[in-house]
C-alpha cells in the first residue's frame, strides 16, 4: 500500500449547501440571519480543514463481498454504489481539533449558540468532504461517495478507514469505543472510480 496523500483544505473553497444548512439548523432553504452569520465567521476562524486519501484496487472475491485494497467489506449498498468501478479512493476529512475545542467552549457557555455552531460545523464538515471529493474526482468519472452509516455499510468500518487513510497520524482522528470520531466534525468516505472512464484519465 502506498502512503496516504495528506492535504490541507482551503477554507474559502468550502461551500456548505443550502439544503445542508437548512437541515442542520432547522431553518427554511436559503434562510440567513445575523446570528448565523456571526457564528459562521467565528467558526471559520477555528477550523483547520484537511484531508487524507489513498487509492486502492477493488476486487470482488468469489465468496461475495468486496476487497478495497486489502480491506474486506460486506455491504450490498456499497457493492451497488461501486458497480463499474475498478478502483476507489478511501478518504477522510476533518475540521480539526481547534474546532472541536471551540464547539466544546460554546456548549459550556450558551446552548443556543452551540446549536447554531454545531449545525454550521456539521454543514462545513460535509462541505470539506465535498471539496475532497472534487479534488480527488478531477478528470475522473467517479461514483457518488459512500460513507459508513449509509445503508448497510456499518460504522465499524471507520476503524479500518482511519487506519488505511492514516487519518490518525495526519488528521489526528480517533475513533471512540462507540464508533464516533474525535474530532466529531470529521467524515470518512469511499469514492469509486469508474473503470469505463479510465481511458479518459489524464
CB of 34 to other proteins, least distance (A): 10
Q: Which stretch binds other proteins (CB under 8 A): 22-30, 83-91, 129-137, 191-199?
A: 22-30
CB of 97 to other proteins, least distance (A): 6
Which residues does residue 90 pair with via DSSP β-bridges, in sequence order? 54, 190
User: Is the bond preceding residue 183 a cis peptide, omega within 30 degrees?
Assistant: yes
Among 11, 18, 23, 27, binds other proteins (CB under 8 A): 27
CA pair distance 188, 109, nearest whole angstrom:
30
Look at the block and give the residue holding cell 456499518.
154
- Residue 53's nearest CA partner among 167, 193, 175, 149 is 167
Structural contact between residues 188 and 158, judged by C-beta atoms closer than 8 angstroms: yes
Site for other proteins in 145-184 (CB under 8 A): 168, 172, 174, 176-178, 180, 182-183
SS3 143: coil
- Residue 43's nearest CA partner among 3, 66, 11 is 11
Contact string (CB under 8 A) for other proteins, positions 53-82, x = contact = --x--------------x------------
Q: Which spans of this chain sit near other proteins (rule: CB under 8 A)?
A: 1-3, 5-6, 25-28, 31, 33, 35-36, 48, 55, 70, 96-98, 100-101, 104-105, 107-116, 118, 168, 172, 174, 176-178, 180, 182-183
Amino acid at each position: 500500500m502506498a502512503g496516504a496523500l495528506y492535504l490541507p483544505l482551503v477554507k474559502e473553497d468550502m461551500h456548505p449547501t443550502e439544503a445542508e444548512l437548512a437541515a442542520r439548523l432547522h431553518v427554511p432553504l436559503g434562510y440567513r440571519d445575523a446570528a448565523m452569520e456571526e457564528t459562521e465567521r467565528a467558526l471559520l476562524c477555528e477550523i483547520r480543514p484537511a484531508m487524507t486519501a489513498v487509492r486502492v484496487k477493488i476486487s470482488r472475491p468469489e465468496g461475495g463481498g468486496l476487497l478495497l485494497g486489502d480491506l474486506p467489506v460486506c455491504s450490498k449498498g456499497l457493492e451497488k454504489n461501486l458497480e463499474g468501478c475498478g478502483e476507489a479512493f478511501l478518504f477522510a476529512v476533518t475540521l480539526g481539533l481547534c474546532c472541536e475545542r471551540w464547539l466544546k467552549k460554546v456548549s459550556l457557555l450558551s446552548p443556543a449558540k452551540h446549536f447554531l455552531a454545531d449545525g454550521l460545523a456539521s454543514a462545513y464538515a460535509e462541505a470539506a468532504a465535498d471539496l475532497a471529493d472534487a479534488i480527488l474526482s478531477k478528470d475522473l468519472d467517479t461514483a457518488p461517495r459512500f460513507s459508513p452509516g449509509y445503508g448497510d455499510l456499518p460504522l465499524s468500518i471507520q476503524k479500518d478507514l482511519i487506519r488505511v487513510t492514516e487519518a490518525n497520524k495526519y488528521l489526528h482522528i480517533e475513533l471512540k469505543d462507540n464508533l464516533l470520531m474525535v474530532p466529531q466534525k470529521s467524515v470518512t468516505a469511499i469514492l469509486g472510480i469508474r473503470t469505463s472512464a479510465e481511458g479518459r484519465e489524464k
